[in-house]
Amino acid sequence: MLVREARASGLARLSLLVVPQWHGQEAFSRNRAFSDWLRARAAEGHEVLMHGFTHLAEWGRPGPRLASWLERRYAGRAGEFHRLSVAEARLRLGLGLDAFREADVHVSGFVAPAWLLGREAEQALREFAVPLTTRWGRVELLSCGASVRAPTLAFSSRSGWRRAVSRRWVRFWFQCHRRAPLVRFAVHPKDLMHADVRDAVRAVLRELAAARRCVTYSQVEAAWRERGAFP
């Protein structure tokens, strides 16, 4: 649905975030129809990024107070790569990348669930030569050691009050960063299940399409490699 909405708004390319084993289910690569769909989208110019491994933080040990708050309240227990050891991150990254290879889908980078990426998990990304990742307000180009400011517009659809607040927040945040060279718009599948958020998503897509050039993370990396800056 999101691909159709973006196309209707004049946005030609999306960065599609794929979870290899959503909440521990079977790897997506075993689903032939979905794998075919991903390859077709890549052929159209969209890019695919690995988005965690299960998208679920499964902590058996307590963490620092701030970390625990972020994982429970902000991330909704989705901060999978927030407190992983290097060894745990290596294991999940390796299994996830294997699934993409099995599906014959190229991976352009990695985005941690809720943008919560711990230092040891980032070290594992570098060991796997993953070219780029993202934080809440930045795109980290690991391949060339650059960090590009990129504020994010994102809705929260987990409850009615979150939807109401985030619709206003996205408009406010967009106005605050209208002059930013790079602005990201993050949409989750659940966002499109709610008519009020769906309408808000369409409005933002139309405004972005009218005022900005649509690029993928890979294009940001390529521009930085060529000119040492973006745009």
**Among candidates 108, 103, 115, which has minimal Cα distance to 79?**
115
The strand pairing partners of 48, in sequence order, are 16
Question: Which element (helix H / strand E) includes 220?
Answer: helix 217-227
On whether residue 68 sits in a domain, the answer given is yes
Mean pLDDT per segment of 10 residues, for the chain of length 231 residues?
A: 83 94 95 97 96 83 53 63 94 98 98 94 97 96 94 91 92 92 93 93 91 93 86 66
pLDDT at 230: 72
Could you tell me if residue 136 is left (phi over 0), alpha (psi between -120 and 50 degrees) or otherwise beta?
Answer: alpha
pLDDT at 7: 85
**Among candidates 141, 159, 162, 137, which has minimal Cα distance to 150?**
137
On whether residue 229 sits in a domain, the answer given is no
Could you tell me if residue 63 is left (phi over 0), alpha (psi between -120 and 50 degrees) or otherwise beta?
Answer: beta
Q: What is the CATH number of the domain that holds 60?
A: 3.20.20.370
On whether residue 50 sits in a domain, the answer given is yes
On whether residue 226 sits in a domain, the answer given is no
**Among candidates 139, 162, 134, which has minimal Cα distance to 149?**
139
On whether residue 230 sits in a domain, the answer given is no
Q: In this predicted model, what pLDDT tens digit does every residue of 101-157 receive, in sequence order?
A: 999 999 999 999 989 999 999 999 999 999 999 999 999 999 999 999 999 999 988
The number of residues making up the chain comes to: 231
On whether residue 231 sits in a domain, the answer given is no
Containing structural domain, residue 147: 2-221
Cis peptide before 231 (omega within 30 of 0): yes
Total of domains in the chain: 1
Query: Quick check: 214 and 204 in contact, CB under 8 A?
Result: no
On whether residue 178 sits in a domain, the answer given is yes
Query: Which residues, including other chains, have CB under 8 Å from residue 208's CB and lie 6 or more apart?
Result: 9, 11, 183, 185, 214
pTM over 0.85? The answer is yes
Query: Quick check: 107 and 100 in contact, CB under 8 A?
Result: yes
On whether residue 95 sits in a domain, the answer given is yes
